[in-house]
Structure 1
Amino acid sequence: MTSRPTRLAYAVVAALAADAAFHLLWATGSTWPASEVRTLSYALLGAEVSFAPRLLLTLAGIALATLALIHARARVTRDHRLYPLLQAGTLAFLAFLSFRAMAGLVWCLGIGTPPDYPAYYWLNLLLYTPLCLAMAAAVFAVSRHGAKPLRLRGKLALAAPLIAIAALLAGAYAWAPTEAPYDPAEAGVDSRYADTDLARFHYTREGDGSPVVLLSPGASWLFAWQEQAHTLAAEHTVYAVDLPGQGFTELYQDFDYTLEAVAEAIDAFLDSQDLDTVALAGYSWSGGWALAYAQAHPDRVDRLVLLAPSGADRPDPAAWEALKPPVAGELLTNVYSGRDAAEASLLGIVEHDEVVTDALIDAFWKPNTRTVNLRSTYLYERGLDWYSTEAAMPATRQPVLLVWGTADTVVPIADAEVFATRLPDARLEILDGCGHALTIDCPDQVDTLMSGFLA
């Protein structure tokens, strides 16, 4: 008669075999049961991830190896020469299942799941989490087959991974870094506020002439445009605005952190200022936002200035890609929310270290400690999809000024060719010895280029 541990092992083996089969199917290019890769990715994982065949085949191989491991472990006792190796592998798989099950319980509460992809929430609630809980229980029973009775030391050893997992989840979802108070006036910003149904937008306005709107850079706020706003105000009415999740803008409604949601926010701000057609400027993430908005609303944008913009359908740097998986994004954002991390980040995106003063560090760091701004960092990383933006580049009709630094460590200069060759009316300017933070690293050169282009 088949023993209970063996029967449980067969159940785990069947689940892993199904998992491997799906990965092998997707490696062929199929996206069944979804219509395309992005929908499948968000339904399965709550984020956009690679479905490259090499990765899928690797995951299928891991599932098959784990399958063999669990099957073998159920057939041996502690007297077998392979017992230590098989037991260690079984316990490692148990730790993974426990982590996924505990994280799934958190996500069942709606915490950390993408609001615009309800399929992931329901699959996690009805399938993934119950399956992981059941598999964890089965693998635990297999791990006890033929093992010594658990004494206090063994119980503590088993409890340690669960405690560590609970600590990781607490760090991601229960701990909130302390907000550092900051008044925009400390940075010399003359703040204004515009109330709309969506949000209370924080913005500045200066000068008189044709309207230019500067969208605050990703993971920053309108302070980054201060030098350019002053320069352009000699000939233009210049608006710099914090979009949702940035600076001191306050949301009144739930926000999806997608390109479509950002476009609605830009619309709301322009309507609040009675602006029909503007020159629009963006920087890093907001460069991609400006481009996407101009593509969707060509009658409202007559010119574009894009500084080291997002918008090409390429993977982000590894440090940003790491924010996409649930739990990891929340935890990393919380852990790296301190002033030292902000200073290191600034030093990493400029070539002229002398511009990174204590005042500059505080101006960039303190506003980002606001809870809504911390959350937006990983939510934007998960929600922004540049596939449609790059695909629409050939049909983008506005004149575009592109500016890139040769030392950009965030958006590689190789991306500049994508924009320059696919946008029909683009002028590309490469600034030697400048990093990603162009407006503070090389402000004079940026001022001259923008003034000439927008004149």
Structure 2
Amino acid sequence: MLTDDENPAKQPETTPQRRGPSRALKGVAALLAGLVAAILTLAYAWQPPEERDFHSSWSVDSHFVDTPVARFHYTKAGKGSPVVLLPGGTLWSYTYRDTIPALAKDHTVYAVDPPGYGYTTVHDEDFGYDVQAMADALSSFMDAVGVPRASIVAHSLNGSVALYLAETRPERVDKLVLMAPLGLNAPVNFNLELMRVPVIGEAVTKLMGRSTFASGLSGAYARGERMTSRVVDEYWAPLSRRPNRKAMWKQVRMIDLSLVDRKLGDIRAPTLILWGDRDEFVSPEQADRLRRRIPGSTLRLFPGLGHVLHEDAPALVNLELLAFLDTDGVRPKR
């Protein structure tokens, strides 16, 4: 007969001990925590170097004017009715280097760097960069240079600013030219969507170097030979500045295209829409939709040109600009 100590049935029951997380799981958690900390540091603490030794080779009459919003950099050329030129995203007034001489024959041309662009300095680090704030800033610039009303030529992202100004301050816009603009409340390209993601947008713009920027910029040209090393240098130098990197993601994130889209039918300024059919940044499929939404507007679609159509083929685009700005707002039929 078995004793209690020898009888397995009589042995005291033991409760299995709960084990903590495995070393592997702890390691993964630590790795993820470190990765998150690194991304946050990159996005909000670390600052990339700025290009400080670059000297522009652009021979132009450069000016600065102060407003409550910013110290605006702009160029001024010619005599005649005023025309204000707004660059596309990440660019500056240099983008109109082949446009200004043509327009200046009959117009006073102001090529301006908006807040967050080129060599303009924003006074308030918390400047909003939404369409209302950007349109207000443009109005303040026009006031500062004594231009109560002007024709506005705008490219890409700042097409939304020009549209909003024409919608909400019609007395300030004589004629309107939109080149591959963001104006419809439609999906934007992948790069812009990336900028809209918190933390990711900040990190991506900070990590961007000259070669990365050049790779992205190349997609804007259908005629690649137009994007020389010097052109990249001209664009990269001001874009490397900390405030401009910030503006790059902030304007995209803050832009509300529905505010622009809903008032397109209110535009009364004669409007010309120019688009390249090889645009990889803003789909040319939007061109005719936008034309139908803006009363009395005219569309010219250029075969074989890309997003920066005025740089791809300045002579062709200049003919359209001159014909439109020098008439009653209707492009002559061909």
TM-score, length of structure 2 as denominator length:
0.89
- TM-superposed CA distance for 1:427, in Å, is 0.8
Conservation of the 8 A alpha-carbon contact between 2:56 and 2:234:
no
Unaligned runs of 5+ in 1: 1-78, 80-144
Question: Secondary structure, in 3 states, of the residue corresponding to 2:48?
Answer: coil
- TM-superposed CA distance for 1:150, in Å, is 4.8
AA aligned to 1:323 is: M
Q: 1:400 aligns with which of 258, 271, 285?
A: 271
Q: 1:184 & 1:204 partners in 2: Cα distance? A: 16
Q: 2:27 & 2:54 partners in 1: Cα distance? A: 49
More strand by share: 2
1:149 to 1:396, Cα distance in 2 relative to 1, 3 A: closer
Matched, 1:359 2:230: yes
- TM-superposed CA distance for 1:147, in Å, is 3.9
Question: Secondary structure, in 3 states, of the residue corresponding to 2:238?
Answer: helix
Question: Secondary structure, in 3 states, of the residue corresponding to 1:402?
Answer: strand
Question: Secondary structure, in 3 states, of the residue corresponding to 1:204?
Answer: strand
Give the share of equivalent positions with the same residue, in percent.
35
Q: Which has the higher contact order (CA 8 A, sep 6+)?
A: 2
Matched, 1:281 2:153: yes
Matched, 1:304 2:169: no
Q: What's the counterpart of residue 348 of structure 1?
A: 219
AA aligned to 2:302 is: L
What does 1:91-170 correspond to in 2, within 5 Å?
A: 146-148=18-20, 150-151=22-23, 155-170=26-41
TM-score, length of structure 1 as denominator length:
0.66
Q: 2:132 aligns with which of 260, 266, 279?
A: 260
Q: What's the counterpart of residue 58 of structure 2?
A: 187
1:148 to 1:308, Cα distance in 2 relative to 1, 3 A: same
Question: Secondary structure, in 3 states, of the residue corresponding to 1:227?
Answer: coil
Conservation of the 8 A alpha-carbon contact between 2:54 and 2:237:
no
- List per-residue Cα deviations over 1:193-240 (Å, max 9, x = no partner): 001121110000000000000012222111101211111000000000
Q: What's the counterpart of residue 244 of structure 2?
A: 373
1:154 to 1:413, Cα distance in 2 relative to 1, 3 A: closer
AA aligned to 1:424 is: P
More helix by share: 1
- List per-residue Cα deviations over 1:354-394 (Å, max 9, x = no partner): 11111011011111001110000110011111112111111
Q: What's the counterpart of residue 447 of structure 1?
A: 318
Q: What's the counterpart of residue 94 of structure 2?
A: 223
Question: Secondary structure, in 3 states, of the residue corresponding to 1:186?
Answer: coil
Q: What's the counterpart of residue 385 of structure 1?
A: 256
Q: What's the counterpart of residue 43 of structure 2?
A: 172
- TM-superposed CA distance for 1:414, in Å, is 0.9
Question: Secondary structure, in 3 states, of the residue corresponding to 2:99?
Answer: helix
Q: 2:251 & 2:234 partners in 1: Cα distance? A: 21
What does 1:194-343 correspond to in 2, within 5 Å?
A: 194-253=65-124, 254-335=126-207, 337-343=208-214
- TM-superposed CA distance for 1:184, in Å, is 6.2
Structure number, greater radius of gyration: 2
State the superposition RMSD in angstroms. 1.7
Question: Secondary structure, in 3 states, of the residue corresponding to 1:219?
Answer: coil
AA aligned to 1:407 is: R
Question: Secondary structure, in 3 states, of the residue corresponding to 2:195?
Answer: coil
- TM-superposed CA distance for 1:154, in Å, is 5.3
- List per-residue Cα deviations over 1:53-92 (Å, max 9, x = no partner): xxxxxxxxxxxxxxxxxxxxxxxxxx9xxxxxxxxxxxxx
Question: Secondary structure, in 3 states, of the residue corresponding to 1:243?
Answer: coil
1:154 to 1:387, Cα distance in 2 relative to 1, 3 A: closer
- TM-superposed CA distance for 1:406, in Å, is 0.5
Conservation of the 8 A alpha-carbon contact between 1:184 and 1:191:
no
Q: 2:134 & 2:101 partners in 1: Cα distance? A: 25
Q: 1:326 & 1:176 partners in 2: Cα distance? A: 17
Unaligned runs of 5+ in 2: 1-15, 327-334
- TM-superposed CA distance for 1:300, in Å, is 1.0
